[in-house]
Copies of this chain bind each other. A is one copy, B any other.
């Protein structure tokens, strides 16, 4: 079919999957890394930073905004983007929790 059966999974599983999916593209990783590196916020500089057309970058920004990892504010003609601190920390905590479980599987296991 091609449509994910979200109903059958927990809200946490769906949320974490949505966050991971948003991180699942090198361009979006690059955008986030750039926003983290800059002390101030960035707008269309991202387009010149990335090897992608303006329309494509705008689309990636839209996806990151959709899951809440970034937020944007209009500043005159341009738009200022930055990390959404609250959701970013929520994401960090969810990934941290997933990876905090000890891996009990040994070498000889499997």
A26 touches which one: B17, B71, B92 (CB < 8 A)? B17
Q: Is A58 an interface residue (CB 8 A)?
A: no
| Count of residues in A whose CB is under 8 Å from the partner chain | 57
Q: Is A55 an interface residue (CB 8 A)?
A: no
Report A91-106 residues with CB < 8 Å from chain B CB: 91-92, 95-96, 98-99, 101, 103-105
A29 touches which one: B5, B16, B32, B36 (CB < 8 A)? B16
How often does this chain occur in the complex, in copies?
2
> Which chain B positions have C-beta within 8 A of A9?
26-27, 29-30, 51
With contacts A73-B110, A103-B83 known, is A17 near B29, CB below 8 A? Answer: yes
C-alpha spacing A32/B80, complex, angstroms: 37
Report A23-48 residues with CB < 8 Å from chain B CB: 23-30, 32-33, 35-41
Report whether B95 and A99 are in contact in the complex, using a CB–CB cutoff of 8 Å: yes
